[in-house]
Structure 1
Amino acid sequence: MKNNKLKQISGSTFLLMVMTAGVMLSFKTPEKKLPQQRKPNIIYIMADDLGYGEVGFNGQKKINTPNIDQLAKEGIIFKQHYAGTAVCGPSRAALMTGINTAHAHVRELSAWTASGKSIDLGSDEITVASELKRAGYATAIIGKWGLDESNTTGNTLDHGFDYFYGYKTHTEAHHYYPPYIWVNRDKVILKDNVPAEHKGTYSNDAFTAQAINYIQQNKNKPFFLYLPYTIPHNEITVPEDSKRPYESLGWPKKPMKPAHYYHDPEGNTTFAGMVSRLDGYVGRIMAELKKQGIDDNTLVIFTSDNGPAFNNEFFDASGPLRGSKLTMYEGGIRIPFAARWPSKIKAGSVTQQPAAFWDFLPTACEIAGIKPTKNVDGISYLPTLTGNVKAQKNHDFFYWEVNETQGPLQAIRMGNWKGIAKYEQPFELYDLATDMGETTNVANKYPEIAAKIKATMASTRTDNPEFPLTKRESHYGNDGSN
């Protein structure tokens, strides 16, 4: 990595750098004269592998998420919001570019490319950050990027972000006490962090401190803060204070064995503690917005990158939905989603309007008063956010694919019909209007609808030599490729 500077800092110095406003922040965008009506700030908070049913506002009973639930109560809940796909990298690419996995450059993790080469965001791809920067926004990502696997074309600073603090690759993000962190283009060694022993600074604590610093630094100008936490993705570990509320509840034990992931010994209380710690982060972010007097003019979105991956049954992680991460069932791709914007969104709103990650780019552009630079697959959901439902445009269909251990999977939602094509298995069709749990395959009952969805799958998907619809083996073995 010849273009990267290597720095080494102690744990105490690291904490000081995180907690002191401005010390580690180097923003390239000069402050501009504010217009009379300032454009709204946008904060996009994304959990990692948090299931549809793992938040209180979607029915979670075991894990406490009061701050996330309050955000939802004071804004709007989308009951039918979808991720980019059922695994992190391509899902995040869809969010950033407005392009779904039928046409995307990144359609899977690098472990599953046909050539074995890493796949990064392409140099010609335009992101939400690029668009908002064009509209005069300061832009930052703090957390997990996952789209710069080979240190070539995917660097955040080359895709519209002024500031980056976090993990460049998805495998770096598998450890909560990382040996190093990226700050812009610099690899900063955290010499007091010991991943296997859980010593040092818990990365997501640092992300929150950095986010608060960023808000303080940019309170007088419009900003876009993309805040993709790694909680509650494997590894299952959290500081002890987050576990304590759950340790005396008599829950069944879920012993965890460290391997690629350095899990804590007991999984259920640790996982619950991770989600509640995330909830605490959200509370701190919301409090800071109020403290800085910018709460009313800030859109805050909370969501997850795909379905759940940990103990779905005990935590009822997918709620009423079938499936989990890496599946094309609703539990793999339908995600918790709430948005709060006091000056624009009516508190207590709930919508059944379907939307997906690729809709965020045109939504952000409309908020900023610009049009997307390129044609995208997304449709702005700003009318739904603001209650102007008659102006909301709808998709003809939604498309997803994923290709890991079970072979290629494709899905299309067309109205309330959901078709799933599995590798060398019969086609499946579900009516989500009457069967949101996808319990009854009605492909034989409605062959004309199944045929239409199959034809749409074939016509909308473009070929990509790295992601053919063939079954492949992981290039990373079984050491945590997702």
Structure 2
Amino acid sequence: MKSNKITRRKFLGLAAIVGAGAGYHWGLSSKADSSALGKPNIIFVMLDDMGYGDLGLYGQNRIRMPHIDQMAREGIRFTQVYSGATICAPARSTLMTGQHTGRTTVRGNWGDLEHGAVPCSGGSGPRVPLKEDDVTIAEVLKDAGYATGITGKWGLGEPDTSGLPNRQGFDEWFGYLNQHLAHSHYPEYLWDNQKKKKLNGNRGTTKNFANQSHYSHDLFTDFAMDFIKRRGAGEAPFFLYVPYCLPHDSFQIPEIESYADEAGWSKVEKIYASMLTRVDRDMGRMFSLLREMGIDKDTIVFFCSDNGAANRYEGTFNSSGPLRGKKRSLYDGGLRTAMVVRWPGRIKAGAVSDDIWYFPDVLPTFAELAGASLPNNIDGVSVVPSLLSQPQPELQSRPLYWEDHERGFRCAARKGDWKFVCNGLDKPVEVYNLADDIGEEENLAESNPELVKWLWDFLKQSHTPSANWPVPKLDQDDGKI
């Protein structure tokens, strides 16, 4: 790994990048003595396919997650935060690079072998790795003196490619490299840095999971707890990224928690709820460890999902809540995510925010928390003021952009209360007012032609060509669609 990758790139001044956050240092209010308090540890926990409505905080009344409920009582809950994509790999790419799906390197789960994609380890289609000159959150924080670790599902690089976590700023890495093998929670092996760690007793099956030895989620939690113990006791701050694989299928778990006797629930529903309750248990363990080590107030913790629910579970969990669609949809059910953030003594307890932000904002936010410089090619802004319940009005008006290439080119945008969905360049644009219509039921495009024109202009401005995900009508750059 080229440890000086970041320092060779051009940077803009931090104040110019973070806009309204320019008056803050390390994410602390101007009244705080930031030089005495230092840089916070940062933990980012992201679930896989958890729906916006799966938490009690967002309307769930059947799945029990008491530690996340407590996390919100001690921190802030956001109601209008979005993933960077509707599916696994591009969502992770937007998170790591601070670039939306019109520009980030990985814009889909599969790519083209003729244009830099590589065979998938373990089967499935070819994957596109992050490039050597991509700058990730881990590199930005490592450059600022952080120890960096990741455990769970990476999804942005295959063996011996530039996309490996250890070549993208992470000191320590343990988990799945791609989403194909992550369909089994009892894999035959996991990656321990750049070596395979064989899990004796596991058969790697996605069907029969009885009498297997090592449940990957539990191993990820063990790694996370050990990382916190070791790195939290050191002088340097740490960044720990935990992209858990639950509650993604296949639906496998060592034991159904307290839902075995729920009448009318399918076996899959019982396992799904148990997966979320298991994550909640482990979040409780993590918070207990932070308190025991005396670093609770020095650590900011984020909790979210990578995209919308894979299954709405209508009538049981209503996993998308009031939102339209689910995973793979560009409606809010596929894009909007729960987001809870806790930082005792810094973030206001019990706060709720309607500020609008998304995954490309995470990199500049972490950079401000760390007092770090930023690469000049990102699309996000720091939301540190919003985390601290301080005004950040530009979040309500600046436009957000998404592309999806899994079913042909589709795109979406949000600007203020207006949401735009285009399910193909040969399809009419849909326009919704989310303030009045959170379920995106009433298409207002016909009565708002100026908004339709705005989307086409914004689309052409936001999209950059990609050999792996070509869009001929846009890439020809002839000004026509």
Report what 1:216 is aligned to: 229
Report what 1:304 is aligned to: 305
Question: 176-185 or 369-378: which moved more?
Answer: 369-378
Q: 2:183–2:248: 8 Å Cα contact kept in structure 1?
A: yes
1:370 equivalent in alignment to 2:372 = yes
Report what 1:246 is aligned to: 259
CA distance in 1 between counterparts of 2:51 and 2:309 reads 4
1:157 equivalent in alignment to 2:166 = yes
CA distance in 2 between counterparts of 1:98 and 1:312 reads 32
SS at structure 1 position matched to 2:296: coil
1:100 equivalent in alignment to 2:100 = yes
1:179 equivalent in alignment to 2:179 = no
Report what 2:477 is aligned to: none
SS at structure 1 position matched to 2:460: helix
Q: 1:49–1:305: 8 Å Cα contact kept in structure 2?
A: yes
CA shift for structure 1 position 111? 5.5
CA distance in 2 between counterparts of 1:333 and 1:311 reads 13
Q: 1:98–1:378: 8 Å Cα contact kept in structure 2?
A: yes
Report what 2:31 is aligned to: none
CA distance in 1 between counterparts of 2:149 and 2:198 reads 21
1:433 equivalent in alignment to 2:435 = yes
1:225 to 240, 244, 248: 240
CA distance in 1 between counterparts of 2:127 and 2:140 reads 26
Question: 151-160 or 310-319: which moved more?
Answer: 310-319
**Residues 378-389 of structure 1 mapped to structure 2, 5 A cutoff:** 378-389=380-391
Report what 1:29 is aligned to: none
Q: Residue 201 of structure 1 aligns to which amino acid in structure 2?
A: H
**Residues 328-343 of structure 1 mapped to structure 2, 5 A cutoff:** 328-343=330-345
CA distance in 1 between counterparts of 2:257 and 2:435 reads 41
CA distance in 1 between counterparts of 2:101 and 2:290 reads 35
CA shift for structure 1 position 315? 1.3
CA shift for structure 1 position 157? 0.8
SS at structure 1 position matched to 2:361: helix
1:126 equivalent in alignment to 2:128 = no
SS at structure 1 position matched to 2:151: strand
CA shift for structure 1 position 113? 7.9
In the comparison of the two structures, how many residue pairs are matched?
422
Q: 2:86–2:329: 8 Å Cα contact kept in structure 1?
A: yes
1:412 equivalent in alignment to 2:413 = yes
SS at structure 2 position matched to 1:209: helix
CA distance in 2 between counterparts of 1:432 and 1:112 reads 37
1:350 to 330, 349, 352: 352
Q: 1:164–1:184: 8 Å Cα contact kept in structure 2?
A: yes
Aligned alpha-carbon RMSD (Å): 1.8
Unaligned ranges ≥5, structure 1: 1-34, 254-265, 472-482
SS at structure 1 position matched to 2:375: coil
CA shift for structure 1 position 401? 1.2
Q: 1:121–1:153: 8 Å Cα contact kept in structure 2?
A: yes
CA shift for structure 1 position 39? 1.2
Q: 2:465–2:471: 8 Å Cα contact kept in structure 1?
A: no
SS at structure 2 position matched to 1:429: strand
CA shift for structure 1 position 470? 7.3
Report what 1:55 is aligned to: 55
Unaligned ranges ≥5, structure 2: 1-34, 118-125, 474-481
Question: 80-89 or 195-204: which moved more?
Answer: 195-204
1:192 equivalent in alignment to 2:198 = no
Percent identical among aligned pairs is: 40
CA shift for structure 1 position 151? 3.4
1:403 equivalent in alignment to 2:405 = yes
CA shift for structure 1 position 186? 0.6
CA distance in 2 between counterparts of 1:156 and 1:315 reads 35
CA distance in 1 between counterparts of 2:132 and 2:455 reads 33
SS at structure 1 position matched to 2:186: coil
Q: Residue 70 of structure 1 aligns to which amino acid in structure 2?
A: Q
CA distance in 2 between counterparts of 1:422 and 1:74 reads 40
